[in-house]
Amino acid sequence: MCIVTVNKKNSISCEPGTNLYKLLCDNGYFFQGNCGGNGRCNACNVLITNKGQFVKSCRYEVTEDIEIYMDIKETNILADHSVDPGIVKDAIAAGDSKMPQGYGIAVDIGTTTIAMELIKLSDGSRASVYKTINSQTATGADVVSRINLAAEASGLELLHNMVAEDILKGVDELIKKTGISDTEISRICFSGNTAMTYILVGTGTECFASYPFKTKKIMYHGEDVSDILGHSRTGGVSLSGIPYYIAPEISAFVGGDISSGAATLGLYDSKKYRLLIDLGTNGEILLAGRDGGFAVSTACGPAFEGAFSGGLYGSTLFDYIDLYRRSGKIDENGIICPEYFDEGLPLTGDNVLTMDMVHDFLLAKAAIAGGICTLIKEAGVSVSDIENIYISGGFGFHLDTDKAIRLGMFPGYFSGKTKISGNTSLAGSYLMLFRSDITEDIIRNNKKTEYINLAANEHFNNVFVDSMRLVQI
pLDDT at residue 103 in the model: 95
310, pLDDT greater than 50: no
| 307 pLDDT tier (thresholds 50, 70, 90) | very low
Which among 263, 304, 213 is positioned nearest to 91, based on CA atoms? Answer: 263
CA distance 305 to 300: 9
The percent of residues above 70 in pLDDT, for the chain, comes to 87
Q: pLDDT higher for 15 or 10? A: 15
Where is 314: in which H helix or E strand? Answer: helix 314-327
pLDDT tens-digit readout, 68-107: 988 665 556 778 887 776 666 666 666 555 556 799 999 9
At residue 22 the predicted structure's pLDDT band, cuts being 50, 70 and 90, is: confident
Q: Identify the residue with better confidence: 308 or 400.
A: 400
pLDDT bracket for residue 173 (50, 70, 90):
very high
Instruction: Please say if the pLDDT value at position 313 is more than 80.
Output: no
Mean pLDDT of the chain: 87
For 36-111, strand residue ranges (E) read 45-48, 53-56, 61-62, 66-69, 103-109
- Which residues lie closer than 8 Å to 355 by C-beta, 6 or more apart? 335, 336, 341, 344
How much is the average pLDDT of 298-314? 56
Helix/strand/coil for 79 = coil
The residue type found at 111 is: T
**The pLDDT value given to residue 231:** 65
CA angle centred on 75, ends 239 and 296, rounded to 5°: 85
pLDDT at 308: 42
Decide if pLDDT at 312 tops 60: no
pLDDT (tens digit per residue) in 456-470: 899 999 999 999 999
Best CA proximity match to 396, nearest among 258, 292, 249, 264: 258
| Whole-angstrom distance, CA of residue 383 vs CA of residue 248 | 29
Evaluate the CA torsion angle 209, 278, 353, 408 in order and state its sign. Answer: positive
How many Cβ atoms are within 10 Å of 288's Cβ, its own excluded?
27
User: Which segment of 71-80, 148-157, 428-437 scores lowest on mean pLDDT?
Assistant: 71-80
Model pLDDT for residues 227-242, shown as the tens digit of each residue: 999 865 445 677 889 9
Residue 169: enclosing H or E segment and its boundaries? helix 153-178
Q: At how many degrees (to 10) do helices 85-94 and 424-434 cross?
A: 20
Residue 18, pLDDT > 50, answer yes
Is residue 124 classed as helix, strand or coil in its secondary structure? coil
pLDDT at 28 > cutoff 90: no
What is the mean predicted confidence (pLDDT) over 376-396? 90
pLDDT at 306 over 60: no
What's the pTM? 0.83
In order of their start, the domains of the chain are 2-69 (3.10.20.740), 85-259 (3.30.420.480)
Query: How much is the average pLDDT of 295-302?
Result: 81
What sign has the CA pseudo-torsion 50, 55, 58, 62? negative
DSSP lists the bridge partners of residue 61 as: 19
What is the pairing mode between strands 273-279 and 386-392? parallel
Instruction: Find the mean pLDDT for residues 135-154.
Output: 88
Q: In the 8-state DSSP scheme, what is residue 415? A: T
Rg value, the chain, Cα: 22
CB environment 158-176: b (16+ within 10 A), e (fewer): bbbebbbbbbbbbbbbbbe
> What pLDDT sits at residue 147?
93
